[in-house]
Amino acid sequence: MTQPESPAEPSGDIVARVDFQYRWRSWVFAIVLLGMGLYCLHDGFVVWPRENAAWEQMGGSVDRSQRPPHDPPGVLFNQIAGILCTAVSIPFLVWREYRSRGEYRLSGLTLSVPGQPAIALDQIQGLDLVRWERKGIAVLECEVAGARHRIALHDMIYQRGPTDKIVEQIERRLAAMDSAEAGPTA
């Protein structure tokens, strides 16, 4: 009879790829920012100055006690908003795409996270789950090649189910390591 597999040792690879919803929301937000920026640029640099100039040219035919259709602070605000929104939209999208590159992969007892060296589960010294329930962020504390690392696992950016399984496996492994260190109780 074979011995059942320890819950701390996963069978097969657990792979969490980028969450589709995260990506499409990033694209929609970037497109909205870009569209709003272009709209504000058009109004702030073309339409509103033209309407104000037309109002000025009317001269005596308008009641001068009235203000122009678009006051200078409003025009300036639209110009600044247009410049900022268009300038931020593309870098925002690039940052979100970069942040969600690759995949989380737990292969046996080795965890691979984009932008980090491969980590053996034995190298993980702590697991911070303070933001896990509310935000889906688990922070691993580990030491790899003499350097301390804090690695965040986000179940909003990467697929939730596999990410949850990876965090579960890490929790089990840490619990098993803690009980082995405590030794048998008398």
Q: Please list the pLDDT of the chain residue by residue as tens digits (186 residues).
A: 444 444 445 467 999 999 999 999 999 999 999 999 999 999 999 999 998 888 888 776 666 667 778 889 999 999 999 999 999 999 999 999 999 999 999 999 999 999 888 999 989 999 999 999 999 999 999 988 888 889 999 999 999 999 999 999 999 999 988 887 776 655
Query: Which sequence spans correspond to the domains of the chain?
Result: 20-99, 103-182
Do 142 and 151 form a contact (C-beta atoms < 8 A)?
Answer: yes
State the helix-helix crossing angle for 72-99 and 48-57, rounded to 10 degrees: 170
Radius of gyration of the chain (CA): 28
- What pLDDT, on a 0 to 100 scale, did the predictor assign at position 184? 64
Torsion of CA 114, 115, 117, 119, to 10 degrees: -40
DSSP 68-124: PSS-HHHHHHHHHHHHHHHHHHHHHHHHHHHHT-S-EEEETTEEE-TTS--EEGGGE
Q: According to the model, what pLDDT value does residue 8 have?
A: 45
Give pLDDT, residue 5: 45
Can you give the pLDDT at residue 112?
94
CATH number of 103-182: 2.30.29
Rounded Cα distance, 10 and 12, in Å: 6
Element (H, E) at 176: helix 160-182
Q: Are 8 and 166 in contact (CB under 8 A)?
A: no
Distances (CA, A) of 20 to 16, 47, 99, 100, 184: 12, 39, 14, 10, 46
- pLDDT at residue 2 in the model: 46
Q: What is the pLDDT of residue 11?
A: 60
